Amino acid sequence: MDVYRVIPLRENLWAVSELEKTVLYVINGREKALLLDTGFGLVNLPELVRGLCGEKPVVVVNSHAHPDHNSGNNQFDAVWVGAFDEPESHAAPDEASREQSRAMFFEEFEKAGGTLPPWNPGPAPRVNVLLDGDVIDLGGLALRVIEAPGHTRGSIALFEETLGWLFTGDLILTWEVWGQLETSAALRVYHRSLERLDALRPRVTAVFPAHWDEKNPYGYPSCQLQPEVLSVYAEGTARIVDGRDEGVPYEFWGRLLRCAYFSVGGMVFDPDRIG
């Protein structure tokens, strides 16, 4: 079994599926390349990006500050993160987080016969902050930062407006997303972020999420969702915050929460943190 695979999506756009558990994106501009998320850090990411984009500066951005998305930050001199996830971006995962990652992501790969390289997650020496409306110009491709508090309070989306590419991190998936974490925003705030993304729908050609399952029941091509999913999530969370959908019981690491399932994916939430 391979630790990762590279999936060509468009000209100058690739997905990197690590352990078939988390998805990174490489975007190649004329002057710079952009790496969105560094995953578990089990891949030699500088070498991978050079192989796809050549010798040019690389801008490294984290969609949010979770170990399955930023553990490879220490392979780079600097990374860019959403302003409200910056405090969590300066330290390596603690042992509890490492054990959780092993249980959730690594054990299945190893039981299937895969061999993992040494895992040494850590932060970049320099952490820079991205603010809403900032534009990352790669030369010929420009990505606008959209602050989208939800899955984490500092979650961001990136939008390439000319081509209609919307990168949403963990905000939207083909299975239930987690909106109940201690680092999550209140669900009403999450809903507003989803409404804001849904307002872009007429200009969006594809939504690129940070996790993927090739066995998804909707027949979506690798690592990309149809723009309609933005309305599914915005309308689904509206039903929760308005009290029209109470969800069903959902157990999460010993906690009894609720989950509302949508036509695509769904939302895990804490009924005491609707906002």
Q: Which domains does the chain have, with CATH numbers?
A: 4-176+200-226 (3.60.15.10)
Percent of the chain with pLDDT over 90: 89
Do residues 70 and 82 make contact, with C-beta atoms less than 8 angstroms apart? no
Interior angle at CA 147, CA 74 and CA 30, nearest 5: 60
Which residue shows structure tokens 């959902």?
A: 250
Q: Looking at the chain, list the stretches that DSSP marks H as alpha helix, in order from N- to C-terminal side.
A: 45-53, 67-70, 95-101, 107-111, 187-198, 228-241
Do residues 243 and 250 make contact, with C-beta atoms less than 8 angstroms apart? no
**Using 50, 70 and 90 to split pLDDT, how confident is the model at 100?**
confident
How far is residue 63's CA from residue 138's CA, in Å, rounded to a whole number? 17
Q: Is the pLDDT of residue 1 over 80?
A: no
pLDDT of residue 134: 98
Mean pLDDT of 247-275: 96
Tokens of 149: 């508090």
Q: Looking at 199-227, list the stretches that DSSP marks H as alpha helix, in order from N- to C-terminal side.
A: none
pLDDT of residue 217: 86
Mean pLDDT of 72-97: 95
Backbone angles phi, psi at 45, to 5 degrees: -70, -40
Q: Pairing state of beta strands 33-36 and 156-160?
A: unpaired
How far is residue 224's CA from residue 54's CA, in Å, rounded to a whole number? 25
pTM of this structure: 0.97
**Using 50, 70 and 90 to split pLDDT, how confident is the model at 140?**
very high
Order of strands across the sheet that contains 255-261? 176-178, 266-269, 255-261, 248-252
DSSP label of 3: S
Do residues 146 and 191 make contact, with C-beta atoms less than 8 angstroms apart? no
Q: Pairing state of beta strands 266-269 and 176-178?
A: parallel
SS3 for 75?
helix
Which residue shows structure tokens 């603010």?
A: 131
**Using 50, 70 and 90 to split pLDDT, how confident is the model at 96?**
confident
Mean pLDDT (the chain, rounded): 96
- DSSP-assigned beta bridge partners for residue 157: 146
